[in-house]
């Protein structure tokens, strides 16, 4: 069997293990995929690999595979592949979500794109390095639990409790490798170099309690929170002035007027399927997602609160977020309590780094006429923990030119999630090439 065949077989089993993480205690049970991966590495000659399993809670297992290098001074490389997947609404799927069905050159299944095809690739290439030997730098493969719930029992827990179990210095994870077709027929391919941060907030207001039959002269918490929501919705965040945002827009090769408008934060509609993605990565975003007030229909509630999913750009800290909210609230600000929830600053890795150069050179081997464009992700990944510990982290895969960034992003957490088998084959070859460049 070829390396691609091994990867596809492993990928199907990882999907069928259905390690669904719905954020509730005991879900995920990534132990099933850890068992599969441990079996996958079985039968190698003694001393070629070491395997460690770490489990903060029963069933929430991460597996660490180490292939020692021949040169202690050589740079290590760590492949971070998460093994959990998000839930499915089976009524909306036309194919069984966990049967790993292959049809029309595609593999259907929850996690096929996010991110089990990369995880399987990482494992297969790591096993091949162990068989081959001769790698100067040490290679680590980490099958990580609990990524979909912000890494609490996975990469976050590992970074805080077992930071020396593997190297965080040079890391690869999801996803990258999709394309931006230029208006002039040109091609650009994405490498993720960073991700937005989280600055979740809960806004509390208080009013007068009382009987629902007598609202006269009552200070309504519901009316007040509605006005808070209206004012927050009116915030127009500053557009990024970073080279990453400008480079992303320029990759589309629009006419100068359209390009300048987009870079300055104009209507992203010309970006088509990527309009929402572009809006998200061009500035801080505020999504009002949860509103609570009252219990009984005949009781005036004295307390109401609004929860917001706020995503920040690099350089925007918690103080910046709170100033923005306070300014928007205006004269209401003294009556609003701002409670921070999950707060994580945005992270970014440099493009003038040997690992980024290896990724860029590899992508140019596949697509000689393409520009390689660094990009930040609107959501989170396990790479932020590597960056916080002083390492670098990049999202890498290889997709055929027909697979646009909009297509790849649209597959994440979607119904009938599917991967083109062509892209699996390309990604396997891509990881082989990167490891050859970086470790040998």
Question: Do residue 40 and residue 122 come from a single domain?
Answer: yes
Share in percent of the chain as helix, strand, coil (round to 5): 35, 25, 40
280, 309, 342: which is the final residue of a domain?
Answer: 342
State the Cα–Cα distance between residues 248 and 393, nearest whole angstrom.
19
Is residue 175 reached through a cis peptide bond, with omega within 30 degrees of 0 on the bond before it? yes
pLDDT tens digit sequence for 331-355 = 999 999 999 999 999 999 999 999 9
State the Cα–Cα distance between residues 181 and 439, nearest whole angstrom.
32
Question: Do residue 99 and residue 138 come from a single domain?
Answer: yes
Question: Do residue 67 and residue 176 come from a single domain?
Answer: yes
Mean pLDDT of 258-272: 94
* pTM, full prediction: 0.94
Per the domain annotation, does 409 fall within a domain? yes
Confidence of residue 46 (pLDDT cuts 50, 70, 90): confident
Element at 78 (helix H, strand E): strand 77-82
pLDDT tens digit sequence for 21-44 = 999 999 999 999 999 999 999 989
Question: Beta 337-344 vs 139-144: how paired, if at all?
Answer: unpaired
State the Cα–Cα distance between residues 254 and 178, nearest whole angstrom.
19
Which pLDDT value is given to residue 301?
97
Percent of the chain scoring above 90 in pLDDT: 95
Per the domain annotation, does 193 fall within a domain? no
State the CATH number of the domain containing residue 26. 3.40.630.10
CB 371 within 8 A of CB 186: yes
Question: Do residue 130 and residue 230 come from a single domain?
Answer: no
Confidence of residue 1 (pLDDT cuts 50, 70, 90): confident
Question: Beta 210-211 vs 77-82: how paired, if at all?
Answer: unpaired
Per the domain annotation, does 54 fall within a domain? yes
The count of residues in the chain is 440
Tally of domains in the chain: 2
Mean pLDDT of 281-302: 97
Query: Distance from CA of residue 44 to its chain's centroid?
Result: 32
CA–CA distances in Å: residue 125 to residues 20, 116, 224, 324, 411: 25, 14, 57, 47, 24
Question: Do residue 360 and residue 399 come from a single domain?
Answer: yes
**Residue carrying the six token digits 């040490």:** 138
Per the domain annotation, does 338 fall within a domain? yes
Closest by Cα among 310, 342, 347 to 23: 342
pLDDT tens digit sequence for 78-88 = 999 999 999 99
Domain that holds residue 138: 3-182+347-439
Question: Do residue 277 and residue 395 come from a single domain?
Answer: no
pLDDT at 411 over 90: no
CB 76 within 8 A of CB 387: no
Give 153 or 412, the one with higher predicted confidence: 153
Question: Do residue 208 and residue 177 come from a single domain?
Answer: no
Question: Beta 139-144 vs 77-82: how paired, if at all?
Answer: parallel
pLDDT at 409 over 90: no
State the Cα–Cα distance between residues 122 and 204, nearest whole angstrom.
45
User: Quick one: DSSP state of residue 167?
Assistant: -
Per the domain annotation, does 323 fall within a domain? yes
285, 309, 342: which is the final residue of a domain?
Answer: 342
pLDDT at 253 over 90: yes
Mean pLDDT of 384-390: 97
Per the domain annotation, does 35 fall within a domain? yes
3 state DSSP class of 147? helix
State the CATH number of the domain containing residue 310. 3.30.70.360
Question: Beta 106-108 vs 101-103: how paired, if at all?
Answer: antiparallel
Q: Around Cβ 80, how many Cβ atoms within 10 Å?
A: 30
pLDDT tens digit sequence for 102-141 = 999 999 999 999 999 999 999 999 999 999 999 999 999 9
Question: Do residue 36 and residue 113 come from a single domain?
Answer: yes
Strand order across the beta sheet in which 303-312 lies: 285-293, 303-312, 197-206, 337-344
First to last CA, the chain: 24
State the Cα–Cα distance between residues 360 and 354, nearest whole angstrom.
10
State the Cα–Cα distance between residues 94 and 415, nearest whole angstrom.
8
- Cα-Cα-Cα-Cα dihedral sign, residues 114, 120, 121, 126: positive
Which pLDDT value is given to residue 255?
96
Question: Do residue 43 and residue 82 come from a single domain?
Answer: yes
pLDDT tens digit sequence for 209-232 = 999 999 999 999 999 999 999 999
Question: Do residue 375 and residue 427 come from a single domain?
Answer: yes
Ramachandran angles phi, psi of 334, nearest 5° = -65, -20
Q: Around Cβ 216, how many Cβ atoms within 10 Å?
A: 5
| Mean pLDDT rounded to a whole number for the chain | 96
Per the domain annotation, does 209 fall within a domain? yes
Question: Do residue 142 and residue 49 come from a single domain?
Answer: yes
Element at 432 (helix H, strand E): helix 421-439
Which pLDDT value is given to residue 45?
85
Per the domain annotation, does 189 fall within a domain? no
Question: Do residue 325 and residue 370 come from a single domain?
Answer: no
Confidence of residue 410 (pLDDT cuts 50, 70, 90): confident
pLDDT at 47 over 90: no
pLDDT at 360 over 90: yes
342, 357, 375: which is the final residue of a domain?
Answer: 342
């Amino acid at each position: 069997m070829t390396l691609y065949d091994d990867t596809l077989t492993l990928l199907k089993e990882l999907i069928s293990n259905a390690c669904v993480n719905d954020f509730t205690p005991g879900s995920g049970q990534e132990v099933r995929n850890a068992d599969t991966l441990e079996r996958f590495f079985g039968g190698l000659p003694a001393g070629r690999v070491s395997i460690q399993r770490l489990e903060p809670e029963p069933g929430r297992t991460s597996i660490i595979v180490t292939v020692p290098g021949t040169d202690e001074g050589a740079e290590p490389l760590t492949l971070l592949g998460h093994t959990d997947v998000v839930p499915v609404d089976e009524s909306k799927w036309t194919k069984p979500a966990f049967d790993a069905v292959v049809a029309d050159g595609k593999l259907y299944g929850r996690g096929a794109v996010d991110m089990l095809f990369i995880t399987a690739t990482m494992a297969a290439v790591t096993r091949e390095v162990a068989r081959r030997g001769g790698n100067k730098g040490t290679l680590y493969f980490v099958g990580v639990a609990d990524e979909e719930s912000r890494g609490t029992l996975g990469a976050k827990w590992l970074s805080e409790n077992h930071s020396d179990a593997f190297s965080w210095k040079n890391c690869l994870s999801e996803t990258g490798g999709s394309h931006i077709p230029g208006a002039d027929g040109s091609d650009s391919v994405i490498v993720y170099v960073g991700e937005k941060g989280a600055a979740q907030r809960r806004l509390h207001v208080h009013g007068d309690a009382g009987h629902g039959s007598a609202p006269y002269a009552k200070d309504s918490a519901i009316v007040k929170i509605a006005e808070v929501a209206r004012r927050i919705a009116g915030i127009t965040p500053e557009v990024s002035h970073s080279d990453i945002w400008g480079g992303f827009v320029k990759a589309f090769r629009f006419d100068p007027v359209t390009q300048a408008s987009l870079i300055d934060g104009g209507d992203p509609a010309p970006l088509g399927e990527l309009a929402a993605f572009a809006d998200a990565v061009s500035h801080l975003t505020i999504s009002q997602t949860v509103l609570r007030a009252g219990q009984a229909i005949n009781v005036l509630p004295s307390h109401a609160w609004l929860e917001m999913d706020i995503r920040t750009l690099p350089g925007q800290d918690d103080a910046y977020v709170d100033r923005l909210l306070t300014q928007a609230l205006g004269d209401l600000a003294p009556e609003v309590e701002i409670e921070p929830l999950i707060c994580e600053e945005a992270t970014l890795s440099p493009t003038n780094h040997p690992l980024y150069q290896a990724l860029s050179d590899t992508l140019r081997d596949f697509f000689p006429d393409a520009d390689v464009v660094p990009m930040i992700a609107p959501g989170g990944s396990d790479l932020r923990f590597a960056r916080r510990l002083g390492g670098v982290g990049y999202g890498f895969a290889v997709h055929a030119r027909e697979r646009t960034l909009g297509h790849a992003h649209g597959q994440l957490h979607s119904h009938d999630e599917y991967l083109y088998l062509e892209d699996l084959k390309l990604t396997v070859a891509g990881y082989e090439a990167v490891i050859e460049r970086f470790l040998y």
